[in-house]
Amino acid sequence: MPVHKTGTAFTKPVDPLLGQAIEAWHALRPSQPKTVDRKTAERVDALFSVRAHPVARNYINRTVIPALCRKAGVPDTDVRGKITSHRARSTIASQLYNAKEPMTLFELQAWLGHRTPTTTQHYAKITPNTLSRAYNDAGYFARNVRTIEVLVDREAVTSGAAADGQPWQHYDLGHGYCGYSFFEQCPHRMACARCDFYTPKDSTAAQLLEAKDNLQRMLASIPLTDDERAAVEDGQTALASLLGRLADAPTPAGPTPRQIGIPPTATRLPIVDITHRNIEDP
Per-residue pLDDT for 126 more than 50? yes
**For position 278, what pLDDT does the model report?**
39
C-alpha torsion angle, residues 90, 96, 102, 107 (rounded to 10): -70
**For position 232, what pLDDT does the model report?**
66
**For position 233, what pLDDT does the model report?**
66
CB 120 within 8 A of CB 105: yes
**For position 78, what pLDDT does the model report?**
85
Distance CA 112, CA 245 (A): 59
Give the three-state DSSP class for 88: helix
End-to-end CA distance of the chain: 62
Average pLDDT over residues 134-144: 68
Per-residue pLDDT for 32 more than 70? yes
pLDDT, tens digit, 9 for 90 and up, residues 75-94: 999 888 888 888 888 888 88
Rounded to the nearest 5 degrees, what angle is found at the Cα of 28, between the Cα atoms of 26 and 33? 55
Greater model confidence, 131 or 266: 131
Residue 263: pLDDT band with limits 50, 70, 90:
low
pLDDT, tens digit, 9 for 90 and up, residues 176-207: 898 888 888 888 887 788 888 999 888 888 88
- Please state, as a whole number, how many other Cβ atoms lie within 10 Å of the Cβ of residue 187: 17
Distance CA 193, CA 252 (A): 10
Distance CA 5, CA 116 (A): 12
Residue 277: pLDDT band with limits 50, 70, 90:
very low
Lowest mean pLDDT segment, chosen from 28-32, 184-188, 220-224, 245-249? 220-224
